[in-house]
Chains A and B, each alone.
Chain A
Amino acid sequence: MRLSYPSDIKIIRVPCTGKVDVLHLLHSIEKGADGVCVVGCLEGDCRFKSGNLKARKRVEQAQKILDTIGIGGERVAMYNLSSGEGPLFAQYAREMHEKILSLGPNPIKAHRKKAA
């Protein structure tokens, strides 16, 4: 399809979104990622039955923690699509990219630089 999506999005492949833990999401932000989106299969279509549903709960937990500590939970998001929906993936990637651009860079990075 050769669809384009923002080049500063780095894809990390996992066997199933059920593999993604709150800790992975928090560590990504702690290490300086401006945002993280988890892209899973459509709900009800998980090959491992409930991996994407678990992922959604973990994304919500991470959002809650990030809101509590003042980083902002909107830096973490969950999307669902089927593997045949390339254009939708590109659209979600652009959406997330625009959301992060509007939020600005991860505040942790700036504070870490100052502290160093």
Chain B
Amino acid sequence: MIVADKKPIEEIIGYVQDANRILILGCNECVTVCEAGGKKEVGVLASALRMHFLQQGREVKVDERTLERQCDHEYLEEIRDIADQYDAIVSLACGVGIQFTAEKYHSRPVYPGVDTCFLGVTEERGVWTERCQACGKCVLAETGAVCPVSRCAKRLLNGPCGGSTNGKCELNPELPCAWQLIIDRLTALNRLDEYEKLMPIKDWSTDRAGGPRKVVREDVQS
């Protein structure tokens, strides 16, 4: 999932300071799972903003709405009839949802309510870690399903480097060395001989090096 973190309330207050009608727009997908932008977080932010403005002597209308997703036209259309009522929309979706909302409601200012962090997993409640950088050319088949692009600080394709000590990365003693994980995994799979093969130079044009990316699937297009 896409992992996001809550933005400080004071930062959001700064964005919407002059607005009189604000819509807090949550998303029921990834940001709900990582507890940054779901229905509950929408309620907390809306309540905090209402109290903040009342404290300043202003009764600002702060409404709450949470969509199934903000990255699909059909769900974003659900606010078509009400979007014009607001001076500002604060989207608690990931950066994708925030931008798509802004594209769809061009005349309304849309502000981010979260900081979008990475593609990751829930290690335990309240702890999320990165697993994928969406490089566009997956190498997991060769690495025992441990990603060196997202989990190695140097993105090494033939590791580990000299900074790997006792299975940890030199960047942080708590950070596992991705290449140690790959070796451990290949050993467990009895495929360590594959570690001997050098990985060829990766085609980074499918990563950000090729600019903004696009996937077109004619087989599913209508």
Interface size class of A (residues with CB under 8 A): 20 to 34
Q: How far is the CB of A69 from chain B (nearest CB, A)?
A: 4
From residue 52 to 66 of chain B, which have CB atoms closer than 8 A to chain A?
52, 54-59
Bound-state Cα–Cα, A27 to B50, Å: 10
A21-B40, A68-B9, A69-B9 known; A112 vs B54 contact (CB < 8 Å) = yes
Residues from chain B with a CB closer than 8 A to the CB of A68 are 8-10, 48
Q: Are A69 and B51 in contact (CB under 8 A)?
A: yes
Tell me if B's interface is mostly helix, strand, loop or mixed: helix
Beyond A23-B44, A65-B9, A108-B54, list 5 extra A-B contacts (CB 8 Å). Answer: A27-B47, A30-B51, A65-B44, A69-B55, A111-B57
Residues from chain B with a CB closer than 8 A to the CB of A78 are none
Q: How far is the CB of B216 from chain A (nearest CB, A)?
A: 43
Tell me if A's interface is mostly helix, strand, loop or mixed: helix
A26 in the interface (beta carbon within 8 A): yes
- Who on chain B is nearest to A112 by CB? B54
Residues from chain A with a CB closer than 8 A to the CB of B9 are 65, 68-69
A21-B40, A69-B9 known; A111 vs B47 contact (CB < 8 Å) = no
Query: Interface 1/0s, chain A 50-82, versus B by CB < 8 A?
Result: 000000000000000110111100000000000
Bound-state Cα–Cα, A112 to B47, Å: 14
Residues from chain B with a CB closer than 8 A to the CB of A114 are 57
A38 in the interface (beta carbon within 8 A): no
Residues from chain A with a CB closer than 8 A to the CB of B13 are 69
- Our pick among A23, A71, A115, A116 for the contact of B51 (Cβ within 8 Å) is A71
